[in-house]
Amino acid sequence: MRLIPTHCQSCARSRLVDADSLANGAIACSDCGALAYALPGESYGEADVSLFDDLVSMLKASDITPAKAAMLADQLQGRSHADPGRTLRRLEQLLPSLGILELLVAHRPASLRKAEGILSLLLHALASGRSQSGFMPAVGAPPQRVKTGDGQS
């Protein structure tokens, strides 16, 4: 069975679903009923479900913001296939809940690469939940009163 990662923007839940259950790249979220969309990238097997779910749980327990998810995802962009796990060790300093991850993948290079790939996918999905950049646009902003120094504005 080929499993596809999905993400629901409504409740920020990610999970693996059977590829055959997707309709036009989407499926009803099992948590909230909104549409969960397929995430780009790899597909996974049944043996990967536990690692995927563990990573989802770790990120959920961290109560990570979309902005922090984007920053962490950027850290994973430079991951090395020659030295798997190096980026995970750096991320553990920024997100301590990932500390248990090394126990889950037991320093196996293939498992470390897979964990880094899944984590990158999940962080990008969480980062896409940002509704705005946090800056107010200048167009349409209320005019500001400026003091001229002689008591007039």
Distance (Å) of CA 82 to CA 26, 38, 52, 107, 108: 34, 29, 22, 13, 13
Query: Tens digit of pLDDT for each residue in 67-102?
Result: 989 988 888 876 666 677 777 777 777 777 777 776
Tell me the mean pLDDT in the region 20-31. Answer: 93
User: The tokens of 9 are what?
Assistant: 């923007």
Q: What is the pLDDT at residue 27?
A: 95
pLDDT higher than threshold 50 for residue 147: yes
Q: Is 140 inside any structural domain?
A: no
CB contact at 8 A, 98 and 69: no
Q: Is 146 inside any structural domain?
A: no
Residue 8's nearest CA partner among 123, 28, 62 is: 28
**What is the count of structural domains for the chain?**
1
Look up tokens 């030295």; give the residue.
83
Tell me the mean pLDDT in the region 22-48. Answer: 93
If residue 35 lies in a helix (H) or strand (E), which one and from where to where? strand 35-38
Q: Is 149 inside any structural domain?
A: no
The residues with which 13 forms a beta bridge, in sequence order, are: 8
Structural domain boundaries enclosing 100: 3-127
**pTM score of the predicted model:** 0.76
Q: Is 79 inside any structural domain?
A: yes
